Each structure stands twice: as structure tokens, then as C-alpha cells.
Structure 1
Amino acid sequence: MSKIELDKTDRKILAILQEDGRLSNQDVAEKVSLSPSPCLRRVKRLEEAGVIRQYVALLDADKIGLGLLAYVNVRLEKHSDPQGNSRIHPTSPRNDFALSVANWPEVVACYAMTGEMDFLLRVHVEDMDHFSRFMMATLLRHPAVLDVKSSFALQKIKETTALPLV
């Protein structure tokens, strides 16, 4: 993972696009005091370098009926492959779990973690019944899952997709 050099103008462009990815190139150019052509070249360079991964619409989970947010810590039976390597091995329980998670629509984020648990899942579901069905029929039925600990969001204090541009 190579880090790309970002100057002050690149950072301004990124901040503007993180706030509103639907702005036209003309609008972005005006906000950063550039003409449209050099602004577009900068945006294209940031896209090609992978700094800008994609443009998306962010949905309100409550308004589409996914009002329960859970964070689930998952511990698996084994932590490494048979040869003792710490990275995920193609035939390891960790890899099998990671491949399974990719097919579970309720899981919107999954991270391999340090500490006593192996993975942290962010799960959006309709309600507690939906969560219970997901746990009993999907997560707890996975052969590598040894233990889970769930926490539920009670109140949203801060939620952003914008990364700090220091």
C-alpha cells in the first residue's frame, strides 16, 4: 500500500467530494479556485491512484426499515492455519468464515481484530426478531464460530464516512 502525496488543493478537493460526491467538476473547481480542466485532472489522478475508491449514495437505515444496529464480536475455534502461519490461509477456518461473511447481507462491515475476539461485525437488521434469526440460522451455525458477544446501538452520537484529511 503506497501512500500518495496530497497537496493542499488535493485535500480540499477530497474534503469537498466527501461532503457531496454529486457536485459537478465545475462546482468543485470553483470551490478550490481552479479552472475545470486542472481540477478534473486532479480528480482523475486521485481516482486512478485509488484514493477515491467509488461514489455512492448513503442510505438512512431507519428509513428503509433497518432500525437495529448491532456490533458482534466473533471468536473462532482456530486462530491460524495448520502450519502455524498467522495470516489467513486459503483452507483455514478464518478464511472460510471471511468468505461466508461476504454472502451475509445483514453484515455491512467485517474486520479481523486483535485481542480476544477474531472478528468484529457491524450488522444492520429490521428488529430483534430479525437479529435473532440471523444469529441462530446463520452466524451460530457456521462451523468455525466458537463464541459471539453482541452489543446494540442505543443512540447515534456521530456517524460519518468522511476520513480526516490531515
Structure 2
Amino acid sequence: MKYNEMLDIDETDKKIISILQEDPETTHSAIAEKVHKSQPAVGARIIKLRRKHLITEAVGAEFNQLDLKFARIELSTKNVSKIWERFRSCPHVVNCFKMTGEFNLMLEIIAPNVKTIEHFVDSCLRKDPLILDIRTNFVIDSLRKYVVPLYFEIEKYEESGCSYECGGPITKADLKVLMDS
């Protein structure tokens, strides 16, 4: 089955999506020229594609353009739902994915340095009896533009520490050492 059928789109829609993936700031007029349609027709198609969730706005940082460390941490857990809920409000976790296989959760973590990620893994993940195994991979590059969300909840963490039993509280001074290392 082709995407056209699965997503109920045509070749023009695919071209519009491709143009916007390459440069989300492309104007409707510029897109109209490239797909040989009127600007109002392109605008209507973009609205339709947004309603179908085929075009969304991803605001964040382009991974390759910043000096941040990005890790994907795979977890083998006894209770996916419980761990999933725990990470819903964790200031370290950018995203969490449920997966099939031996490793049933994957976390995405963004931090200023490797030491901060290692501290999270050691103090929060390794101490949790529901987590059976951990595999950490640091992402060093991406073939295409990859936008990662930036969650500023970590700034609240700096003031209050972690509220989870997994790692216990961390002081402002300890966090400063981690963030500046």
C-alpha cells in the first residue's frame, strides 16, 4: 500500500509536505509556484493536512546546531505503565516511547553534558527495581534536520530537586556541578 492510499493524499499533498519538511517557513506563495497551484488552493490544502495531523508544528532546537548531549536510553522493565507514568513529569525526559521486544521503553534525554545524563541513569534508573536492564546510546549526529523539544522544567528541578524516590533530592549546588561539568 502506498502512502497516498494510507493517508488519503495525492501527489500535490506529498510535494507540499516535502517542501515544508525541508523549510517550514516557506510561504504559501512559494509553495504554490512549486506545485503549480494557486496560493489559496495551497492554503486550503495545508489546512486539510494539519487537520489530518500530517503537518504539525515542531518547535524546539535543531540537534546538530547546538552543543547539547542527546541520549536514547532503552529500558527493559517489569511494569511499562508504571515507569511510563513516572517519566510523564520527569524534568530530564524529553520523550518516552513504548516499544516491542526485550527493551520495552525508550527515553530521549537532552542535557548540557554527558555527566548529567550519567547521573540520571545511575541515580534514577539503576536504583529502580522495576527496571531490569538499561542500554544507553549517545546520539552524535543526524542525517537530516532533527528538532528536539526543549523542556525548561529542569530549571524548576534546580530549585526543588527530584521528587521521585529513585534518585532522592539533589541540591542546587550538586546540580550546578553537574550542569557545568
Shorter-chain TM-score range = 0.7 to 0.9
Deviating above 3 A after TM superposition, structure 1's stretches of 4 or more consecutive aligned residues are 60-65, 140-143, 159-162
Q: Following TM superposition, by how much is the alpha carbon of 1:62 offset from its aligned partner in structure 2, in angstroms?
A: 6.3
Distance, in Å, in 2 between the alignment partners of 1:15 and 1:114 is 30
Q: What do the CA deviations read for 1:90-138 (whole angstroms, capped 9, x no partner)?
A: xxx3212112222234333322222211112222222222012211333
Distance, in Å, in 1 between the alignment partners of 2:37 and 2:91 is 42
Distance, in Å, in 1 between the alignment partners of 2:50 and 2:10 is 15
Residue 22 (structure 1) aligns with: 25
Residue 10 (structure 1) aligns with: 13
Q: Following TM superposition, by how much is the alpha carbon of 1:139 offset from its aligned partner in structure 2, in angstroms?
A: 2.8
- TM-score (norm. length: structure 2): 0.67
Which structure has the higher relative contact order (CA within 8 Å, separation 6+)?
Answer: 1
> Relative to total residues, which structure has the larger helix share, 1 or 2?
2
- TM-score (norm. length: structure 1): 0.72
Q: Following TM superposition, by how much is the alpha carbon of 1:33 offset from its aligned partner in structure 2, in angstroms?
A: 1.0
| Amino acid of the structure 2 residue aligned with 1:158 | L
Cα-Cα RMSD: 2.5
Matches within 5 A, 1:82-161: 93-153=79-139, 155-156=140-141, 158-161=143-146
Distance 1:60 1:39, change over 3 A: closer
Distance, in Å, in 1 between the alignment partners of 2:63 and 2:22 is 19
Percent identity, aligned pairs only, is 24
Distance, in Å, in 2 between the alignment partners of 1:62 and 1:157 is 7
- In structure 1, the gaps of 5 or more residues are 78-92
| Amino acid of the structure 2 residue aligned with 1:55 | E
Distance 1:157 1:132, change over 3 A: closer
Residue 72 (structure 1) aligns with: 73
Is contact 1:110–1:119 with CA below 8 Å preserved after alignment? Answer: yes
- In structure 2, the gaps of 5 or more residues are 148-181
| Amino acid of the structure 2 residue aligned with 1:50 | H
